[in-house]
A and B are shown apart, each in its own frame.
Chain A
């Protein structure tokens, strides 16, 4: 599904990522873990086209996407969520999800200004679909609230709803459990499983080890910009290199 080959990223004189390669199986949940500064978010930024890597290539379903920009990748079905929750804070919850359907609609400025029939039909479709996604993630009752007023946990859910509305093939989540309490984290875990079961591939960066070990089928460990290990949760837990990286020994 997603394949990274020899990704290297250099910022000035600092090597943030060095020769990282791994692949993500279609329909799986893959976790990317590592201590702070390991290069996890940088990796996400490269895959989603926000950074251009110094070296290496990224493939999505066999297609080379190394040099596509962010909005083109969204059209191909690759979306993400952010560590600090990037909502459209002045728009309502419903409108946020409606933006998720941007790639599923095509009306331009002209047909929107003149309300051409095609645009009216499209608008109905967007509204109906958006409401369905709010139901899917269980935040229908918040539909008309301004997103900036949401509590953090609900904001996370909204961000995920918005990403799902784009009907992605693969969704990248940057620390989805950060800032959530244990109940919210448990709900998140079951939502991520539900997303996976609907056929969407999930990749997540996460610090919450319980969550990662619980839901991920395969884990990639980064340390200081290099891939340290890759395998099933059990293999990773028993890997001496990983243990020493996390405990700061060696």
Chain B
């Protein structure tokens, strides 16, 4: 058990080191810019994965929390001379409170009904982003959002933004890994498998679902705030139903209930449009195809598939050794 824990920590450190060293190999490369958005999407995917992959509660409206974080940060910092980092915190707090309040009635619902309720919430928020023109700028967007700064360090280029976003992302990853390996993580998976049995064992499913919904929303809001400051311009189109579905696709492709799977899915879905640019509008067809093939042949996502492949390979090697020993 100790070795498993150590191995997990090692995996995380190797991953973190790779992330932090990557820019040195990509200096001046357009890919660095894409990787900034991979980081933001990884955060969002992990947030949704805590809810869907662990607790088994679906949300089709997660883009709304992302948008709320972005707009709260964007509106306040573009109008008032306040410390933007403070507003990230404030936005996270506001979104957390809202998620907590709507979580109680919404999470009483199950399956399709929960999907519909969260979908409705997402659409309502999307309409609000569009219609409160005085605040959000409406469909034409909100511009003039300042970059974040620490002293004389301004986060206004890909290099700086990369480190800004990935420090947050790595923190979210580490905290989520810790959470998933704890009594809370186990309780969430227990709710996923059998809510009634979890309750019989003393897991307060109702409260815990609302709590993880709130955590998930807070992570999305932080990602939203960072997005607003990195882009300096935001528009409602980034926070609509399509994006909620894209987030869902990320974690299904990467791996439900896996932190690294969230990263993998986010990386693929962020980079794919760049690679598939030659196919133009065909990319949406390719997403759909991937989603179908994944659910059919790799329900554990890419991470699950890779783990199965490694296990299979180890077994083969093990067998080979046994045969050798016998010979």
Contacts and interface: CB of A to CB of B under 8 A. Distances in A.
B200 A79 contact: yes
Contacts of B179: 109, 112-113
Tell me which of B182, B189, B193 has the highest count of chain A C-beta atoms within 10 A of its own C-beta.
B182
A113 B178 contact: yes
Interface string B164-190: 000000000001101100111111011
A114 B178 contact: yes
A194 interface: no
B25 to A, nearest CB: 32
Interface stretch (A33-41, A54-62, A122-130, A180-188): A122-130
- Size bracket of the B interface: 20 to 34
Interface stretch (B99-107, B108-116, B204-212): B204-212
B192 A166 contact: no
Contacts of B196: 50, 70, 82, 86
Contacts of A79: 200-202
Interface residues of A, number: 39
B295 to A, nearest CB: 16
Identify whether the interface residues of B are mostly helix, strand, loop, or mixed.
Answer: helix
B197 interface: yes
B194 interface: yes
A109 B215 contact: yes
B21 interface: no
B193 A74 contact: no
B176 A113 contact: yes
A98 B182 contact: no
Given A114-B178, A123-B183, A99 B200 contact: no
Given A98-B183, A107-B182, A166 B211 contact: no
Given A99-B201, A114-B178, A127-B1, A88 B183 contact: no
Nearest to A81: B200
B193 A91 contact: yes
B76 interface: no
B201 A112 contact: no
B178 A99 contact: no
A86 B204 CA distance: 17
A232 interface: no
Contacts of A103: 201-202
Contacts of A90: 189, 192-193
Contacts of B194: 86-89
Contacts of B200: 48, 70, 74, 79-80, 86
Nearest to B174: A113
Interface of B: 1, 175-176, 178-179, 182-187, 189-190, 192-194, 196-205, 211-212, 215
Interface of A: 48, 50, 69-71, 74-75, 79-80, 82, 86-91, 95, 98-103, 105, 107-109, 112-115, 119, 122-123, 126-127, 162-163, 166
9 contacts: A79-B200, A82-B197, A86-B194, A95-B189, A99-B203, A102-B203, A109-B184, A113-B182, A163-B201
Given A74-B199, A102-B201, A107-B182, 11 more contacts: A71-B205, A88-B190, A95-B189, A99-B186, A99-B203, A103-B201, A108-B184, A112-B179, A113-B178, A123-B182, A162-B201
